[in-house]
Chain A
Amino acid sequence: MPDQAHGSSAARPSSLWQLFAAFTVLAMQGFGGVLAVAQKELCDRRAWLTQAEFLQMLGTAQVLPGPNVCNLSLMIGDKFFGWRGALVALTGMIAAPFALLLALAWTLGHASSAAPTQHAIQGALNGIAAVAAGQIIGTVLKLSAPIKQHPLGGLTAAGLAVAAFAMMTWLHWPLIWVLLGLGSLTCLYTYAILRKRKAST
């Protein structure tokens, strides 16, 4: 929604072109996933969004079908420039990596199949994967700061985050159970608290 006051973040993109360039730049830096770079570029470097806004948009992006970072691009583009911004941000996110990836697949298809080359490529891919895992964890730790001010209380909110983590990693529940089960429970609980707070003011 272009004209709506959101008020909390300081800066905004000056043009569709700047939006496109920003998303292209951040997508091309996102090895093994774009989320870490998106947070860094959009919140820390450009200050287009606050951490809390980023986390809320991500929460909505997560329950919707489709790649989370693509949904996030749509929402951020839409926030600043309406539907044109949404399309531009999404195109920026996809176009350059799409071209690069196909070029890469084409090159690998023609590359030397000599063992040392293949070995080095595989090693480099493993190294990137290790870094990507660390990037996601570091980003989440940074993003979890707003949880302290959560309406349910920081401790309860942190406990719920740990519960979601455990359901995925130890219990191996399907994602949809966690989103619908735990997600709807926390939403209802938050709703009750917010209603009570509203009634008492």
Chain B
Amino acid sequence: MSTWVWAPDVWWTLFKHFFALSLLSIGGAITLVPDMHRRLVLTDHLLSDADFTASIALAQAAPGPNVLFVALMGWYSCGLMGATASLLGVMIPSTTLALAASRWVSTRKHWVGVHAFQEGMTPVTVGLLLATGWLLMPSVQNPKALAVSALVALLVWRTKIRLIWLVLGGAFLGGLGII
């Protein structure tokens, strides 16, 4: 994909698609992947199946919020401006709402209802996060990778080790084909 592509109509299409999906992304943009696939790949033919999958895999492995896979889809569709338009489209609606909602909540902290919401959600949040980690675990067909995950979980839980060393270690072992 070339970096500079002059195609305002494609920028606008990308922006519109992601803008429309943004407020549906409860639980993160990753929940919208099936609908993104329908819109961008099947209907509008903006990028290929392979590029679509690569966007998600690459963003998962690279540092930063996973939502950046949206920017990569824009990149593969239409270069730098496509990436920017896509990211702005997916961020603007949810960001505006999140800021307004969190302000509403934080000025009403003393309300029993708000307190109950915050306290009530914590067990659910813990369970959902645990499920996220669980679903990302390597399969049992790869016991060495599974052991690495378990060891990392223990180290993160019980020690003050810098996470970056764990990541570098994982990349190193994986790159050499050990796990």
Q: Which chain A residues have a beta carbon within 8 Å of chain B's beta carbons?
A: 1, 4, 27-37, 40, 44, 55-71, 74-75, 78-79, 83, 86, 90, 93-94, 96-98, 100-102, 104-106, 108-109, 119-121, 123-144, 146-147, 150-152, 157-158, 160-165, 167-169, 175-176, 178-179, 182-183, 186-191, 194-195, 198
> Cα distance A179–B121 when bound, in Å?
8
Count residues on chain B whose CB falls below 8 Å from chain A CBs: 96
Known: A129-B136, A130-B152. 7 other contacts (CB 8 A): A64-B98, A101-B62, A104-B62, A132-B167, A134-B155, A140-B130, A164-B127
For B175, give the chain A residue with the smallest CB separation.
A124
Chain B residue numbers with a CB within 8 Å of A163 are: 127
Whether B119 and A29, one on each chain, are in contact in the complex, defined by CB atoms closer than 8 angstroms, is no
Chain A neighbourhood of B127, CB < 8 A: 160-165, 167-168
Q: What is the minimal beta-carbon distance from A16 to any residue of chain B, in angstroms?
A: 16
Least distance between A148 CB and chain B CB atoms (Å): 11
Per the bound structure, the CA–CA distance linking A102 and B179 in Å amounts to 27
CB-CB < 8 A to B170: which residues of A? 127-131
The residue that A160 contacts in the complex, of B66, B124, B163, with Cβ under 8 A, is B124
10 tightest Cβ-Cβ pairs between the two chains A and B? A127-B174, A97-B64, A138-B156, A164-B127, A66-B94, A134-B152, A187-B120, A131-B170, A59-B121, A136-B133
| Known contacts A55-B122, A108-B58, A123-B175, A135 near B153 by CB under 8 Å | yes
6 A–B contacts, CB within 8 A, in A order: A28-B63, A64-B101, A65-B24, A124-B174, A151-B119, A162-B127
A8 to chain B, nearest CB (A): 11
